[in-house]
Amino acid sequence: MESNSDYVTLGEAVRILGMTREVLNRRIVGGALPVFCSGKDTRLKLVARKDLDELVRIKPLVVRSDETVGSVRVA
């Protein structure tokens, strides 16, 4: 079982990720970031640190050779 230090509040997640609460809520509603209720206080929402790490992990951009990225045509 994971310890409480493996989880952060939504306020701490905003600070760690450097995004607004609105953007964080969009990630949650969109399913990109799972949220858990604290066992002691169901009003307290927690996010797993490992899920924060996964959210900010750099993912490669895959572009087909015939696509345009921004205003640049990839040949």
Taking the C-alpha atoms of residue 69 and residue 43, their distance in angstroms, rounded to an integer, is 43
Q: Note the pLDDT of residue 1.
A: 40
pLDDT band at 62 (very low <50, low <70, confident <90, very high): low
- Token output for 57: 């992990």
Taking the C-alpha atoms of residue 30 and residue 19, their distance in angstroms, rounded to an integer, is 16
- The answer as to whether 9 is a domain residue is yes
Structure confidence by residue, pLDDT tens digits, 16-50:
999 999 999 999 999 999 999 888 888 899 999 99
Q: Note the pLDDT of residue 65.
A: 62
Cα–chain-centroid distance for residue 1?
22
CATH number at residue 47: 1.10.10
- The answer as to whether 75 is a domain residue is no
- The answer as to whether 19 is a domain residue is yes
Q: Domain count for the chain, please give it.
A: 1
- The answer as to whether 74 is a domain residue is no
**Could you list the residue range(s) of the whole structural domain that residue 27 is in?**
4-58
Taking the C-alpha atoms of residue 48 and residue 4, their distance in angstroms, rounded to an integer, is 9
CB 8 within 8 A of CB 16: yes
Average of pLDDT values for 55-70? 66
Average of pLDDT values for 50-69? 73
